[in-house]
Structure formats: structure tokens, C-alpha cells
Amino acid sequence: EAGVAQSPRYKIIEKRQSVAFWCNPISGHATLYWYQQILGQGPKLLIQFQNNGVVDDSQLPKDRFSAERLKGVDSTLKIQPAKLEDSAVYLCASRRTGFNTEAFFGQGTRLTVV
């Protein structure tokens, strides 16, 4: 079974530029999460999709962050414009429907904003 794919692995941009991250979840996983993980901290949930609908985006800074999941499969997360404090690892995870199921994570995208 193929895992969660994310790209790019690394990205360096200047502040005020825009950036986009891509995630391909495990086939058949209806739930998709995007997390932001700042160095030394736990993952913070940014947005959760169930198929192509948003379930929870309460912690997404909507003035600069946006995400979509077209056709309930792949997802993109965009930041525009980026700030220095957006430097972090962005993790994508997917999960089968059901309460007692585990999440599978991609390797993450390490973003550095200079």
C-alpha cells in the first residue's frame, strides 16, 4: 500500500512570497488533515477534510492560508503572503473513515521563510 505522498520536501522563500504544498493521501482514505509543526512543538491542526468537504478549519489563518481538496483525493495548501513565523514543517495525513482508525502521515514539507 502506497503511503501519503507530499511535495516538495523542502522550500525556501522570501517573506511576502506565496507557496503551495501538495498532498496525495492513501487511496480510499476519506479524511485528510494538514498540520503545521513548528520546531520543538507538536503538530497543530490547520484543516481537516472529509472527502472534499471541510470539517474543521478553526485554526487555519484564513487571511493568508487556503486549502482545497478537489474530487476528494489530492489536496493543496497555499500560503499567500508568507511571514517569517510560517517557517515550519507542514504535514499531511490521511485516515480511513471510523473513530478507531489511525492516521498515516507523509514525510512533510519543511518551509523556511527568510
Partner 1 sequence: SQQGEEDPQALSIQEGENATMNCSYKTSINNLQWYRQNSGRGLVHLILIRSNEREKHSGRLRVTLDTSKKSSSLLITASRAADTASYFCATPLYGNNRLAFGKGNQVVVIP
Task: Give the footprint of partner 1 on this chain (CB under 8 A).
Answer: 4, 31, 33, 35, 41-45, 48, 50, 55-56, 58-59, 91, 93, 95, 99-108, 110
Shortest distance, position 16 Cβ to partner 1, whole Å: 27
| Cis preceding-peptide flag for 43 (omega within 30 of 0) | no
Q: Of the two residues 63 and 102, which places its CB atom closer to partner 1 in the complex?
A: 102
CA separation for the pair 57, 54 (Å, rounded): 7
Element (H, E) at 65: strand 65-68
**Are residues 34 and 75 in contact, defined by beta-carbon separation less than 8 angstroms?**
yes
Shortest distance, position 84 Cβ to partner 1, whole Å: 21
Q: Of the two residues 4 and 82, which places its CB atom closer to partner 1 in the complex?
A: 4
Q: How many CB atoms lie within 10 A of CB 50?
A: 15
Q: Of the two residues 20 and 45, which places its CB atom closer to partner 1 in the complex?
A: 45
